[in-house]
Amino acid sequence: MSTPPTTNAPTWNLEPIFPGGSSSPEFAEFRRRLKQDLAAAGAELAQLPPELNGATRRTWVSFILKLQTIIEHLHRAHAFAHCLVSADVDDNTAQQIEADIDADGAAYDNLLIALEALAAKQPDDRWETLFATGEMQSIRFFLDERRRIAREKLPVEQESLVNELAVDGYHAWNRLYEKLAGDLRAEFTGADGTTKMLSFGQISNMMSHPDRAVRRQAYEKSNEMWQPAVELAAMALNSQGGFRVALYKRRGWDSVLKEPLLNYRLGRESLEAMWRVVGSNVSRLKPFIEAKKRMLGIDRFMWYDQTAPLGGSKQKFPFYDSVEFIVDNLRPFSPEMAEFARMAIDNRWVEAEDRPGKRAGGYCTGFGNIRESRIFMTYSESYNGLRILAHELGHAWHSWTMRQLPYYGSRYALNVAEAASTFNELLVADAALEQAADNDTKLMLLDQKLTNAFVFMCNIYARYLFDCAFYEKRKTGTVGSVQLSEMMREAQRKAFGDLLDPEGFHDLFWATKLHFFLTAQPFYNFPYTFGYLFSNGIYARARAAGPAFSEDYKNLLRDTGRMSTEDLARKHLGVDLAHDDFWQSALDRILADVEKFEALAG
């Protein structure tokens, strides 16, 4: 059993990455050498032969591998700085370092853009010479992809300028929003009657509290905290949105979905098939919501009721009990996955302590050439806290399966990344259901599973619809805060239908949700629903095949950085994602729990 520290939930250990936090001399030296490497690569680029052939191949290979090393080091530096800022939003030194690394990232991007432009000019037969030996085959998919996308972009000089200006423009709005959100504080009265000053992230966690009065207070406090900052949030959203729209226009991209679909290696037909099937199945959640309302003793299902727990909701899940729960329930499918989760906890890869000064949300990050992960979250002693921990450990496992691949061969997109995290959740939840000794626990677990379905089918869909509407409207000018709220309400009305009360929508969700402001990933929404449904398809295979499927599962994860999403599904699952059948079968499996829930709910 893991040995718990003195706190209820652990803090992570970042010392193996760089000792000393934001004042680390080793970190400062690492960044200094990184700048030197970038400058040297720039000089080498100037000497790179413009034509690729047998005589120049070695020079091209050397430059490409140097770029790969640089991005590994950049990833390590940026992830470390971001971890510091996440754990302490008042670490101004780390914030400055993160901004400086963003500038280094732009310098790397310019090198990559120049390489892509040269690659795009090579005839196919010349391009093939690059892969004459096996050392480049493992990163061929990445290089082919960059060459193909380069042919759809602006000339290299213009793309380089865009990247340089984005550091203190486009991406700065994301940093400003995170700082704005991190600084928010408000007094909050808990269920025990005590009042404390909490951060926005801590209050957000209260949205899943068993006590409806606490949930409602969390919702109202969230809106109250953001009200003075609404115009700043609107300014940030419009500024980054305007940047994207202007850039797309220059590139000749007529759809705001062009970039996210390229980023997620997904065809539009597959995305439309997924949402088409989701939309036609939302009404099947109605019996679940009605039964849940009865059990909660409410007649109106509001925004703050979405993740209200049922059943064993009063049961506490201390952090280390949850670790044992996760490890024990992963083991029947894969002892290797279980031991990995144990290792991550024992090596203090997880930052979970509930304290002020942390940013909201949770994530898992890697560190480039250091083949480790770190998980950030604010743990609440609820099943939802356990679920999030299992989710993030799934991300870490995904990266671990690819640790022996070269960096360019292991960069998987967000949509398939969510498959591994959701798979972990499903394993834990179903194993717990099978072992549950009483109906109260079964009801709690079924409620969590169907709440996930509700969120991915409705909440995430509303975010997607809002993004689509916002970027189309942004093409014609700035969108005011009042109109943004109206657009958000309309998106929720379309996505939720009659599952939420007409007065239960969250008009300010566009301002309070970090995901809308992430400049590194436009449309940070549909990959979650995709990963959820895709993972359910994978999980169905795992349930049918049992532990024998664990090796096939690892092979699928390893391929996520080396092929398109459609090719991945064809190779490992034998399905066509552009057809409704796969999505419908996944939803049928998910929604089969509605009847079970109704029976338990009486």
Contact 51, 126 (CB under 8 A): yes
Segment among 204-213, 263-272, 368-377, 489-498 with least mean pLDDT: 204-213
Q: Residue 374 forms beta bridges with which residues?
A: 365
Query: What is the torsional sign of CA 71, 74, 78, 80?
Result: positive
The residue written with tokens 């059948």 in the block is 581
At a CB cut-off of 8 Å and minimum separation 6, what does 385 contact? 317, 319, 322, 377, 379
Average pLDDT over residues 180-185: 89
Segment among 21-35, 103-117, 420-434 with least mean pLDDT: 420-434
Could you list the residue range(s) of the whole structural domain that residue 29 is in? 21-168
Tell whether the model's pLDDT for residue 521 goes beyond 90. Answer: no
Residue 55: inside a domain? yes
Band the pLDDT of 383: cuts 50, 70, 90: confident
Residue 531: inside a domain? no
pLDDT, residue 4, reads 45
Report the share of the chain in percent with pLDDT over 90: 82
CATH number, domain containing residue 100: 1.20.140.70
Q: What six digits make up the tokens of 383?
A: 């099943």
Residue 151, burial from CB neighbour count under 10 angstroms (0-12, 13-18, 19+): exposed
Entry field: residues in the chain: 602
Amino acid identity of residue 131, one-letter, is F
Residue 347: inside a domain? no
Average pLDDT over residues 571-578: 95
Residue 313: inside a domain? no
At a CB cut-off of 8 Å and minimum separation 6, what does 457 contact? 278, 281, 282, 285, 529
Alpha helices in 282-332 (DSSP H): 286-296, 319-330
C-alpha distances in Å from residue 444, one per residue of 75, 307, 319, 384, 436: 39, 11, 18, 10, 10
Q: What is the DSSP string of 447-493?
A: HHHHHHHHIIIIIHHHHHHHHHHHHHHHTTS---HHHHHHHHHHHHH
Instruction: For residue range 193-220, list pLDDT tens digits in order.
Output: 999 999 888 898 888 888 999 999 999 9
Tell whether the model's pLDDT for residue 2 goes beyond 70. Answer: no
**First CA to last CA distance, the chain:** 39
Tell whether the model's pLDDT for residue 567 goes beyond 90. Answer: yes
Segment among 56-70, 330-344, 437-451 with least mean pLDDT: 437-451
Name the nearest CA neighbour of 499 among 459, 537, 550, 559.
Answer: 459
pLDDT, residue 440, reads 87
Name the nearest CA neighbour of 143 among 568, 561, 566, 565.
Answer: 561
Average pLDDT over residues 234-241: 96
pLDDT, residue 439, reads 87
The tally of domains found in the chain comes to 1
Average pLDDT over residues 106-132: 94
Contact 303, 219 (CB under 8 A): yes
Tell whether the model's pLDDT for residue 260 goes beyond 50. Answer: yes
Tell whether the model's pLDDT for residue 3 goes beyond 50. Answer: no
pLDDT, residue 313, reads 53
Residue 69: inside a domain? yes
Residue 315: inside a domain? no
Q: What is the DSSP string of 88-125?
A: -TT-HHHHHHHHHHHHHHHHHHHHHHHHHHHHHHS-HH
pLDDT, residue 430, reads 87
Band the pLDDT of 7: cuts 50, 70, 90: very low
Average pLDDT over residues 109-120: 94
Band the pLDDT of 334: cuts 50, 70, 90: very high
Tell whether the model's pLDDT for residue 362 goes beyond 60. Answer: yes
Residue 123: inside a domain? yes
pLDDT, residue 312, reads 63
pLDDT, residue 1, reads 42
Tell me which DSSP letter residue 9 carries: S
Band the pLDDT of 314: cuts 50, 70, 90: low
Contact 448, 456 (CB under 8 A): no
Chain mean pLDDT for the chain: 93
Instruction: For residue range 269-312, list pLDDT tens digits in order.
Output: 999 999 999 999 999 999 999 999 999 999 999 999 999 988 76
Residue 140: inside a domain? yes
pLDDT, residue 6, reads 39
